Chains A and B, each alone.
Chain A
Amino acid sequence: AQKVTQAQTEISVVEKEDVTLDCVYETRDTTYYLFWYKQPPSGELVFLIRRNSFDEQNEISGRYSWNFQKSTSSFNFTITASQVVDSAVYFCALSEGKISGTYKYIFGTGTRLKVLA
């Protein structure tokens, strides 16, 4: 069955520290997509990144970077030099693809990141 695990419930760091949020997934699909979303205190879901199962290249966007490893079924997210504005809940999600044809998302339970000034 498809499953997404975010084992870290809450992380606190001091500003300018680097922090890595872990995401481990399970799927039977050979074609799937992985996502990270940010949910700031205002409550909306902000799309951060999409990665498909055929692209294992790491990606960097400013202070954000993502490490996708199919061998360990992980899609981890690192924030470099964290800032107070990074304080939010971060969700990892998996999209079912061709097997079901529904493109439903399976979300992890989220990691609350607190960046202290």
Chain B
Amino acid sequence: NAGVTQTPKFRVLKTGQSMTLLCAQDMNHEYMYWYRQDPGMGLRLIHYSVGEGTTAKGEVPDGYNVSRLKKQNFLLGLESAAPSQTSVYFCASYRRGAHEQFFGPGTRLTVL
């Protein structure tokens, strides 16, 4: 099992460009999450999904969109990147009853 994987690992964007971050899990987990980590702020929840075809907003959703067309994938989109979106992005998945989220390795995004 690969667990939770994130693509890409690093990316540099210019202001206004768009991109999609891919999170994939092979554990058949129902729940998936996107967090961002900024210095001194811990990890904050952007969006989450409780099942295929459903998504919901987290604490800091502005400027992001998500989709969960397949159970194993959770995509995070930036339609028009801004320097304030420079961050490290973590994806996680969760299986009911496991009482633990499994985290991907992170994606470091820089917006110039």
Contact = CB atoms under 8 A, between A and B. Distances in A.
Interface of A: 4, 6, 9, 33, 35, 43-45, 47, 50, 52, 91, 93, 95, 101-105, 107-110
A9 B40 contact: yes
Interface residues of B, number: 25
Contacts, number: 55
A102 B43 contact: no
B100 interface: yes
Given A44-B103, A102-B50, A105-B33, 4 more contacts: A4-B42, A102-B56, A103-B94, A109-B42
B105 interface: yes
A2 to B, nearest CB: 11
B42 A91 contact: yes
Nearest to A52: B99
B100 A35 contact: yes
Contacts of A110: 40, 42
Given A33-B99, A35-B100, A104 B48 contact: yes
Contacts of B58: 104
A6 B40 CA distance: 11
Contacts of B41: 109
29 contacts: A4-B42, A33-B100, A43-B106, A44-B103, A44-B105, A45-B90, A45-B103, A47-B103, A50-B99, A50-B100, A52-B99, A91-B42, A91-B43, A93-B43, A95-B99, A101-B50, A102-B31, A102-B48, A102-B56, A103-B94, A104-B48, A104-B58, A105-B35, A105-B45, A105-B92, A107-B42, A108-B42, A110-B40, A110-B42
